[in-house]
Amino acid sequence: MTQKYPEFQTANLEAWAKAAAKSAPGGNVEALNWQTPDGITVKPLYTAADTQNLPYANTLPGFEPYLRGPQATMYAVRPWTIRQYAGFSTAEESNAFYRKALTAGGQGVSVAFDLATHRGYDSDHPRVTGDVGKAGVAIDSVEDMKVLFDQIPLDKVSVSMTMNGAVLPVLAGYVVAAEEQGVSQDKLSGTIQNDILKEFMVRNTYIYPPKPSMRIIGDIIEYTAKNMPKFNSISISGYHMQEAGANQALELAFTLADGKEYVKTAIAKGMDVDEFAGRLSFFWAIGMNFYLEVAKMRAARLLWCRIMKGFNAKSPKSLMLRTHCQTSGWSLTEQDPYNNVVRTTIEAMAAVFGGTQSLHTNSFDEAIALPTEFSSRIARNTQLIIQEETHIPNVIDPWAGSYMMEKLTQDMADAAWAIIEEVEAMGGMTQAVDSGWAKLKIEAAAAEKQARIDSGKDVIVGVNKYKLKLEDVIESRDIDNVAVRDGQIERLNKIKKNRDAAQVQQALAAIETAAASGTGNLLDLSIKAVRARATVGEISDAMEKSFGRHRADTQKVTGVYAAAFDTDTTDGDTMDYWNALKAEIADFAAAQGRRPRVMISKLGQDGHDRGAKVVATAFADLGFDVDIGPLFQTPEECARQAIENDVHAVGVSTLAAGHKTLVPAIIAELHKQGADDIIVFVGGVIPRQDYAMLYDAGVKGIYGPGTPIPASAKDVLAQIKKALNV
């Protein structure tokens, strides 16, 4: 029998290096290596030699250490769940969206709550005037929750709820709404996020300090293990860490370290690890570093199995990491936004290749405003096309055996494990969070990433390269915050009028006593209070009397942003611009006797502070004096601090759609307090149709996503000079 193909000469690595050197910069093949933000070296070529000594390269899916997937057949039998995260202003509007999504191919409900609910305030509280119904659905009581799930059979549809601060009244509201729908607790399936440690690092929708917050988590794990066997009691979330700036290794390490801390908390309550660990789940961000994201998810399962064996877990369900994923919101651009459809598709494929159990794909317009029905349909169909047209699900872990992917998985695991060991040496994740160390690590990574974009080292198509001369106008969703709040207050008043006030007070008193004494289960007591029609705010307040409300320290990193503008890798024009701006700021200081002073502020309940912290770092590195206002300020508090600190300008960072209410309010408050000379500028997610309104209100500069920080700094300096007539 003759050979089908002729004999080929096998080249060796040395021969390849010589051939590659002919086209490599300076004849140096190592110049083709990519150094990831995680400190991992990715080579242009991998061979069998790179996988020779890897201990887990030949494992199988569904078996320890689950590197290749938690289930033996993965998507070949059952594709991942399409679970689109959404919440729009009112329970009625959100319910309509969920029902349409389920009819159109969605396979589960994922609820986004507004920031007032997250922070444990009822809609009539004076601190949340700009937040009600913005960036999520307003929920004040079980009556809202019943509307939210109207005609959605909760014994058949799994529900995921992203809630951490007000987790007790919200989870209790879901349980009671199901009861009144005729569905018992043991039939409920889904997940409550309930991951408070990451809130202290990045997202900031906490209510109570770390210690009592950890007690709440323990109570929820205990109650659900006994009464809700199908329900995941916690979703340990790295998503918000990456969105806040963490690289993949930091996200992986800090998330697994959080999970380890939660397991310790449950064991400390006297629970056996196998009693609850099988109901823990995880939640990853999936960004544009395609290879790293696939490797991260494979490494996560490997490391979680290792961690759980350290707790003597024996059940396979305790050892396997199951996860939900969401494509990155931070990678979405306001400029040339249809590019975001491509970005989301690439990220979705990384999540699938990494072995996710459920997935949310972001809509292309989310860097502009809340998604429209049109953009949400494209996002959902992205998953349906991958599931039903590509045949990607037919192969289990198709990256297995790849020299590059197996080595990168091990490199990612090693990088994350080194950070986990550093956390353990500090006394665990609660200590690392309490000290502020973990938060500063993420903020440093965020500042470095932004500087790489602003200096042109990292390309963002349509933003810092291949920019459009004229941007298309994109239709965006607008929420009438005033109308939503008025409707919520009307419903609240009706509930309070018709309930048994004595029964409510008795239930709230029981919660207050349990919080103070450390006895009883707070979820059990919250469910009883919700049955009596106690509100989210009332239940939260009952615990706050004993626990207090957490106040975060305001810190910023310095030098990290400036370091990315080094002369070796930054092009000459960018470097000249940077140096000229620093000189202009220095000249201002010399002429005025002090440096230009700005205050970076967050108004309302928007805790997403990545942008605020990065801007503060960059402005400080340029030579501004920078004050950072505490989170959750009212316009009155912000104006008072700005005047007391004698600033030239206030910069408002807004990501949660409260700008139409809160920015005019800060300008009016500065005027009221006699500080018309302080200019106001705004950055963040602001639809272009709102620009005119903000300028009419007195805003001097608006800097949307993708604006290079040096450009915004130069404009702010010019506005300060104009206000001073210099």
For 326-363, the pLDDT digits (tens) are 999 999 998 899 999 999 999 999 999 999 999 999 99
Share of the chain above pLDDT 90, in %: 71
Predicted pLDDT of residue 73: 97
Active-site residue 695, yes or no?
Answer: no
Mean pLDDT on 360-384:
89
> What amino acid occupies position 372?
T
Distance of CA 683 to the CA centre of its chain: 18
User: Euclidean distance between the first and final Cα of the chain, in Å?
Assistant: 91
Predicted pLDDT of residue 569: 57
Alpha helices in 532-599 (DSSP H): 536-547, 560-563, 572-592
Active-site residue 66, yes or no?
Answer: no
Beta-bridge partner residues of 84:
109
As a whole number of angstroms, the distance between CA 367 and CA 113 comes to 18
Answer yes or no: is pLDDT of 627 > 60: yes
Active-site residue 556, yes or no?
Answer: no
Q: Model confidence over 74-92: pLDDT tens digits?
A: 999 999 988 877 767 889 9
Answer yes or no: is pLDDT of 656 > 90: no
- With tokens 């220095």, the residue in question is 586
Answer yes or no: is pLDDT of 383 > 90: yes
Of the listed 134, 240, 360, 556, which one is catalytic? 240
As a whole number of angstroms, the distance between CA 248 and CA 659 comes to 31
Q: Model confidence over 168-217: pLDDT tens digits?
A: 999 999 999 999 999 999 999 999 999 999 999 988 999 999 889 999 99
Predicted pLDDT of residue 689: 85
Mean pLDDT on 549-557:
78
Alpha helices in 135-247 (DSSP H): 142-148, 167-181, 196-198, 210-227, 239-243
Of the listed 118, 134, 260, 602, which one is catalytic? 602
Task: Please confirm whether the linkage preceding 55 is cis (ω < 30° from 0).
Answer: no
Predicted pLDDT of residue 11: 75
Residues 6+ apart with CB under 8 A from 374: 475
Residues 6+ apart with CB under 8 A from 605: 115, 116, 118, 119, 121, 127, 128, 131, 205, 632, 656
Answer yes or no: is pLDDT of 568 > 70: no
- With tokens 């293990």, the residue in question is 225
Of the listed 118, 407, 608, 700, which one is catalytic? 608
Strand stretches in 607-688, DSSP E: 625-628, 649-654, 679-684
As a whole number of angstroms, the distance between CA 506 and CA 522 comes to 14
Share of the chain above pLDDT 70, in %: 97
As a whole number of angstroms, the distance between CA 80 and CA 99 comes to 20
Q: Tokens representing 251?
A: 């996200």
Answer yes or no: is pLDDT of 1 > 60: no
Active-site residue 602, yes or no?
Answer: yes
Residue 160 has phi, psi (to 5 degrees) of -110, 130
Of the listed 131, 258, 454, 606, which one is catalytic? 606
Active-site residue 648, yes or no?
Answer: no
Lowest mean pLDDT among 16-20, 368-372, 414-418, 648-652: 368-372
Q: Tokens representing 633?
A: 């300020």
Predicted pLDDT of residue 118: 95
Residue 284 has phi, psi (to 5 degrees) of -110, 150
Residues 6+ apart with CB under 8 A from 542: 508, 509, 511, 512, 515, 529
Residues 6+ apart with CB under 8 A from 579: none
Q: Is the sign of the CA dihedral 205, 209, 210, 214 positive or negative?
A: negative
Q: Report yes or no: 601 and 626 within 8 Å, Cβ to Cβ.
A: no
Mean pLDDT of the chain: 91
CA atoms within 13 A on the CB side of 24: 15
Distance of CA 672 to the CA centre of its chain: 36
Predicted pLDDT of residue 3: 60
Position 4 confidence tier, pLDDT thresholds 50, 70, 90: low
Count of residues making up the chain: 726
Predicted pLDDT of residue 456: 87
Alpha helices in 84-227 (DSSP H): 91-103, 115-118, 142-148, 167-181, 196-198, 210-227
Of the listed 43, 46, 85, 230, which one is catalytic? 85
For the CA atoms of the chain, what is the radius of gyration?
26
Q: How far is CA 56 from CA 53, 63, 409, in A?
A: 9, 11, 10
Answer yes or no: is pLDDT of 104 > 90: no
Helix (H) or strand (E) holding 280: strand 280-286
- As to burial, measured by CB atoms within 10 angstroms (0-12 exposed, 13-18 middle, 19+ buried), residue 177 is buried
* Global confidence as pTM: 0.88
Q: Report yes or no: 151 and 109 within 8 Å, Cβ to Cβ.
A: no
Answer yes or no: is pLDDT of 5 > 80: no
Q: Model confidence over 247-275: pLDDT tens digits?
A: 999 999 999 999 999 999 999 989 999 99
Cβ atoms within 10 Å of 27's Cβ, excluding its own = 11
Mean pLDDT on 63-72:
96
Active-site residue 239, yes or no?
Answer: yes
